[in-house]
Chain A
């Protein structure tokens, strides 16, 4: 059997993982600094495809820590990448929990994501988990919900942390009971114990992944004020309607949330050469420019600018089609970070707008990897890379890193192969 580029790369991971890790780190840093590395960095994939390939269930990936390392280590071995995010154990949006504890830098960032075991304690209504509300073979899901009425904006504005802590958490998390009750106190002690267990598990797993040729950079977390409202308080549709029905309240709430968001983000100090702050955007693509520019962007921009000034680099996931708002990114300082685009209706246009100013990540429709053929994937990536490669500052990635069940293994290999073949400068 003829060896493909991916096979040779896997062999190098086995033979000289330290060299490979060093190459990856240099390649990635160069791209983040808007430079031209030796090759376009290739971002990894995961999702249902990981479960199907390794045979681990979503339940085990969420709850059974001992079953996770063999699956994840096999996966990163067989589908090597330069940089990637694999949630192990599985995690979902939970930034509201961090915002309830912004003055506890020792753990505010750690509880930023919801995990299955924490969900079991809080019984939060924001998320649903396999083996609990969902079947064991189904992806855990964030559903959000409406936990605040429009008339309560005033309280949120007055003291956002107290409001989230004392009003929203009891409503959204029946497992906590009433603030100050034995149930409440006991639940938080349990959350702490569970987080400690997960944290030490993750540290061990990262060491193992690192030994296999994967560099790691520290990452902290931030959020957009309007998404706090949409994701955790008013449901996205409620937030969108509030912008029109209660514009002043909405803006004041966004302003009030900036400070606690920054507190959570800066709980992890910036360490050279690279500490990212991750922000996933949710309402962005749903808003017309008028609403985006008035209710969303000013507060997001403030968070990004403040953190960049402090020495962090941004890593922002622009969900959906962000093209209508893409020019606003140019208002940020050059080299502020990485913009990962899910599915801008014209990726090349986004790239042309931002190249030399922002590191751009994305370019590959997940549906191409799911439904295409290795030949089609190769052809598509060859064409894409001929257009976006020359200037540097580009990271190859699917629009989302989660690929569904049924994604052909040959297609995922074709994606990595094409990056290796056509991505060299």
Chain B
């Protein structure tokens, strides 16, 4: 029985990575019907999300693949979570991410992919939406106490807003409490240094991998 379960979970992983939505949802449905521990399925999701990140970094996946993968992971989660609640279990979170598109920018495609993937790998995500002023980030850090703050933006003006946000976080003495990652099509190492962030990424998958590395380092460091 357990070996056939392993095979099914492996099939689920493969169908996610093949971006075969129909098959992935069908396998999930079958697993849940046969009363498989929902946490086992969530483990597959986490594994898949990490592998997706790796494929993106190696240039094997593109944004359209991340979007499809995100949809699949979300679809599976939506099937699994009610079942998890039903059996009275909950999922352990790996960390808390506070994210938003910075002031003056209303683009959210990248941010939304990050939210979907970060949730899939087990982050608790607080999404502040778009056009978020520095003050709101600061208030939300105080309220939610996240490990990581994600600043997203597409426009070149976003870089300036990111800097203002990081400055505001520093001025209120919260900078040391959080890791800050900036993301968007036009950020790079120059932008990261200018803004004063800890990391930068042009894509959601790499961003999620960086964040996972941070929480692991923190765990490792005690």
B-contacting residues of A (Cβ < 8 Å)?
47-48, 128, 134-135, 138-139, 141, 143, 236-237, 240-241, 243-245, 283, 285-288, 291, 319-321, 324, 343, 365-368, 370-372, 399-400, 402-406
**Number of A-B residue pairs with CB-CB distance less than 8 Å in the complex they form:** 98
Tell me which of B32-40, B103-111, B141-149 binds A. Answer: B103-111
CA distance A143 to B112 in the complex (A): 14
**In the complex with contacts A138-B104, A141-B105, A366-B64 CB distance below 8 A:** no
How far is the CB of A179 from the nearest CB of chain B, in Å?
A: 29
How far is the CB of B207 from the nearest CB of chain A, in Å?
A: 16
**In the complex with contacts A236-B109, A370-B159, A400-B156, A343-B62 CB distance below 8 A:** no
Which residues of chain A have C-beta atoms less than 8 A from B59's C-beta? 324
Minimum CB distance partner of B104 in chain A: A138
CA distance A288 to B61 in the complex (A): 7
**In the complex with contacts A141-B105, A367-B188, A243-B64 CB distance below 8 A:** yes
Which residues of chain A have C-beta atoms less than 8 A from B104's C-beta? 134-135, 138-139
Q: Are B21 and A244 in touch, CB under 8 angstroms?
A: yes
Q: What is the size category of the interface that chain B forms with chain A?
A: 20 to 34
Q: Are A139 and B155 in touch, CB under 8 angstroms?
A: yes
Which residues of chain A have C-beta atoms less than 8 A from B106's C-beta? 128, 134, 141, 143
Which residues of chain B have C-beta atoms less than 8 A from A371's C-beta? 190-191, 193-194
Q: Which of A236, A244, A367 contacts B68 (CB 8 A)?
A: A244
Whether a CB of chain A sits under 8 angstroms from the CB of B51 is: no
Which residues of chain A have C-beta atoms less than 8 A from B19's C-beta? 244
Which residues of chain B have C-beta atoms less than 8 A from A48's C-beta? 156-157, 160
Which residues of chain A have C-beta atoms less than 8 A from B157's C-beta? 47-48, 138-139, 404-405
**In the complex with contacts A143-B106, A241-B68, A400-B186, A285-B194 CB distance below 8 A:** no
CA distance A47 to B158 in the complex (A): 12
Whether a CB of chain A sits under 8 angstroms from the CB of B174 is: no
Minimum CB distance partner of A402 in chain B: B156
Which residues of chain B have C-beta atoms less than 8 A from A367's C-beta? 159, 186-188, 190-191, 194
Q: Are B68 and A370 in touch, CB under 8 angstroms?
A: no
Q: Are A403 and B190 in touch, CB under 8 angstroms?
A: no
Whether a CB of chain A sits under 8 angstroms from the CB of B5 is: no
8 residue pairs, one from A and one from B, having the closest CB atoms: A286-B63, A371-B194, A367-B190, A240-B64, A371-B190, A288-B62, A404-B156, A138-B104
How far is the CB of B160 from the nearest CB of chain A, in Å?
A: 5
Which residues of chain B have C-beta atoms less than 8 A from A138's C-beta? 104, 157
Which residues of chain A have C-beta atoms less than 8 A from B193's C-beta? 371
Q: Are B186 and A141 in touch, CB under 8 angstroms?
A: no
**In the complex with contacts A139-B104, A240-B68, A343-B186, A370-B62 CB distance below 8 A:** no
Which residues of chain B have C-beta atoms less than 8 A from A283's C-beta? 64
Q: Are B188 and A404 in touch, CB under 8 angstroms?
A: no
Whether a CB of chain A sits under 8 angstroms from the CB of B8 is: no
Q: Are B160 and A405 in touch, CB under 8 angstroms?
A: yes
Which residues of chain A have C-beta atoms less than 8 A from B194's C-beta? 367, 370-371
Q: Are A141 and B68 in touch, CB under 8 angstroms?
A: no
CA distance A368 to B62 in the complex (A): 26
CA distance A400 to B155 in the complex (A): 10
Which residues of chain B have C-beta atoms less than 8 A from A244's C-beta? 19, 21, 68
